[in-house]
Structure 1
Amino acid sequence: MSGARPMPVRLKKLIGTFLLVALVSIYALIATIIAVGHLAQSSGWVHLAYFLFTGLLWILPAMWIIWWMEKPPRRKTG
């Protein structure tokens, strides 16, 4: 019985790189659209808090993608 072959490291890194670029691009676009739509009349402190929060929030999914990229391939047992 043959098991699934592990994904080559280079392919994982290529996929992860594209995922990171897509994540940052889409996230920045959405965060900016929300800011323009909801923060136009807000004070500078609200803008600072919003952009500080959203500027750090994207790190969580990026960390997961990087963890997945760096995870060693499963070893074949049996």
Structure 2
Amino acid sequence: MKAHEPSWRKPAGMFAILLLITLWAVMVGSLSGFIGRLPMLLQVPVYVALGIVWIWILPLKRLLLWMETGRWRFP
């Protein structure tokens, strides 16, 4: 049985995740004045869209797939 060789993709992916989180925090922080002036019922969908959809589901889904398999697309 062949020994498991470590992959460079996992450390590179972790740094990419940290970079995405940092960029997201800067972006949301810079938009907080604008978002804070919106009514509360509009703030929730904005933060959901910015947080869940824009930073977590779309980019991280493929990034995690790449870290594990080396492919960007699902089979």
**TM over 0.5: same fold?**
yes
Quick one: which of 48, 63, 66 aligns to 1:65? 63
Please give the TM-score of this superposition, normalised by the length of structure 2. 0.71
Q: Which one has more relative contact order, counting CA pairs under 8 Å at least 6 apart?
A: 1
Q: Matched residue pairs, number?
A: 65
Counterpart mapping for 1:1-78 below 5 A: 9-36=6-33, 38-57=34-53, 58-59=55-56, 60-71=58-69
- 3-state SS of paired residue (1:52): helix
Query: Percent sequence identity over matched residues?
Result: 17
- Within 2, Cα distance between the matches of 1:69 and 1:40? 36
Query: 5+ unaligned residues in a row in structure 1: which ranges?
Result: 1-7, 74-78
Higher-Rg member (1/2): 1
Please give the TM-score of this superposition, normalised by the length of structure 1. 0.69
Write out the 4+ residue segments of structure 1 that deviate beyond 3 Å after TM superposition: none
Over aligned residues, Cα RMSD in angstroms? 2.0
